[in-house]
Every structure is written in C-alpha cells, then in structure tokens.
Amino acid sequence: MPDVRLIETGNQILPFRTLEGAFIVRSILPEFPIGSIHLFLVNQGNSPDVYPMLLKTKGRYIIAWEDSVLGLVVEEKPELCLRITPDVFNKMKKLTGVVNGQVAPSFPELGLFPIIALSIVLELPLAELGPDQSDIVMNSPWLPVIQDKTLVGRVIYIDSYGNAISNISKDLFDRANQGKRFEIYIISNHYRLDRINTGYMETEPGDMLALFNAINYLEFAIVHGNISDLLGLETGSTIKIKFYD
C-alpha cells in the first residue's frame, strides 16, 4: 500500500494498558473519515488462543488483538466482526496475492496486520471469509449493565487532572433515567451525588461533581482538586446509579 497515510495517535498510552487504549480509540474514531483503518496495537497477542480481530463500526475499521476491551470501542454491535483465525488469514493471503511474509512469534503484528489492512483496501468480501463473531465483542465485562433499576458501570480512564471517566454514556443514562430521580454512588454508599452538572464551575471549589463530558461519557471531578487521588479511584472502580419512581 505505497500511498497509505499513517497517523500515530497513541504515543502516550502506557504499554499493555488496553483499557486506556480502548478509551482513546473510541474517543478519536469520529474525528477520522469513513473507511479509515485503525490499528489497535497496545497489547501483543502472541498466544495460541488469541487471534486478531477485524471490526467495522460506523463505517470505520479497527484491527486489534482479541481482547475484552473491544466492546468499549464499538459500544454497539459492529457492522463486521471477523476473527482472523489461520484459516481466515490464509484466505486473505490467497485473495490479496501475497505469497511471502512470515509471521514471527516475537513480532506477529508485522506479518499479520498489513495483510488484514490490505484486504480492506482491496475491498475483499470480508463478511464471506468467516462467521460473524460479534458475541465475543459485545459480551465484554467492561460494558455497563442495567439491573433492577440500577445502572452499573466502571471507571475506564483517569485523565491528567485526576478526573475519572466512566463507561456510562449519556444515551444509556437517558434511556435508563426517563426523568426519574436518581442517586450516583461512587465506590461505596459513602460518596454519592444526586445531580449532573453541565459544566465544571457550577460546583464550588473542593466539591465533587458529575457531568457528561465532550464525548458524552459520565465523568467525575473535583473543582481545583483530584478526585481519583482523594477517593482512591482507579480504572475498574465501580459506579452505580439508582433510579427511583
């Protein structure tokens, strides 16, 4: 693909932090054009039972290693979800005309991912190469769930201000809320909020707040403070929202 344009967007993602990487990819996808191809290479596969995945969501392609965090990237059932098993990969090699290229166990991405990307560029009949594997992605434990009038989510990203960003989108909150009274519980019943701000400065300095940020995820902060340090929040911390009739 001699004319391909490469853009690096993840230089500051720490090694092996796939959850952080998933949040970044989900955040930047809308900024890229339809048909763009995104390589999600935060964590290396290099395991007999872990395969590359090819996803298409909202017209954009993602090539990644099979990982439970991919559900956070797509949020809803992807248009295409293909597990690149050896059989599928051999079909790709045959259809693209690639006759060389070995897959080295120490750096499998070098041999695998360019051929998968080439299959997209050449407009191969991708959906015909293997079965749809959307269930693998949509059964992610990192997706929020609704149980008994309670929306349960998790912190998925801590930003440079110490603000804690959850996996609860505004759309999901609105569907669960429907105008009801609610209480948000952070980590335990000891920390709770019953309103959502539209901006940070609606709250006095030193007080906790919740708001839907610029990418419409529920975020928690302290004005002029660090809520993650104060409450001991980290990726994976539980957030519960209870709704009352």
Query: Which pLDDT does position 103 carry in this prediction?
Result: 83
Q: Tokens 């005309």 belong to which residue?
A: 97
Mean pLDDT of the residues in the chain: 92
Q: Which secondary structure element, helix H or strand E, spans residue 154, and what is its range?
A: strand 150-158
Residues in Cβ contact with 74 at an 8 Å cutoff, skipping those fewer than 6 apart: 55, 57, 62, 137, 138
**pLDDT bracket for residue 104 (50, 70, 90):** confident
Tell me which of 60-69, 92-101, 197-206 is least confident: 92-101
Q: What is the pLDDT of residue 45?
A: 63
Q: Render pLDDT for 180-221 as a digit per residue (tens, 0 to 9).
A: 999 999 987 779 999 999 999 999 999 999 999 999 999 999
Can you read off the two tokens belonging to residue 196? 């959502």
Predicted confidence at residue 203, as pLDDT, reads: 92
* 116-127 confidence digits (pLDDT tens): 999 999 999 999
pLDDT of 224 over the 90 cut: yes
| Whether the predicted pLDDT of 65 surpasses 80 | yes
| Report field, pTM of the whole predicted structure over 0.75 | yes
Mean pLDDT of 35-61: 89
Residue range(s) of every CATH 2.40.30.90 domain in the chain: 145-244
pLDDT at 131: 96
pLDDT of residue 60: 97
DSSP-derived letter for residue 128 is: G
> Superfamily assignment of 145-244 in CATH?
Bacterial fluorinating enzyme like (2.40.30.90)
User: What is the pLDDT at residue 148?
Assistant: 85
Statement: residue 13 has pLDDT above 90? no
What is the distance of C-alpha 120 from the center of its chain? Answer: 21
Q: What is the DSSP string of 183-242?
A: EEEESSTTSEE---BSSGGGS-TT-EEEEE-TTSEEEEEETTS-HHHHHT--TT-EEEEE
Confidence of residue 61 (pLDDT cuts 50, 70, 90): very high
Residue ranges of the chain that CATH labels 3.40.50.10790? 18-138
From the options 1.10.3720.10, 2.40.37.10, 3.40.50.10790, 3.10.129.10, give the CATH code of 18-138.
3.40.50.10790
Question: What confidence score (pLDDT) does residue 46 get?
Answer: 62
pLDDT category at 234 given cuts 50, 70, 90 is: very high
Is residue 63 helix, strand or coil? strand
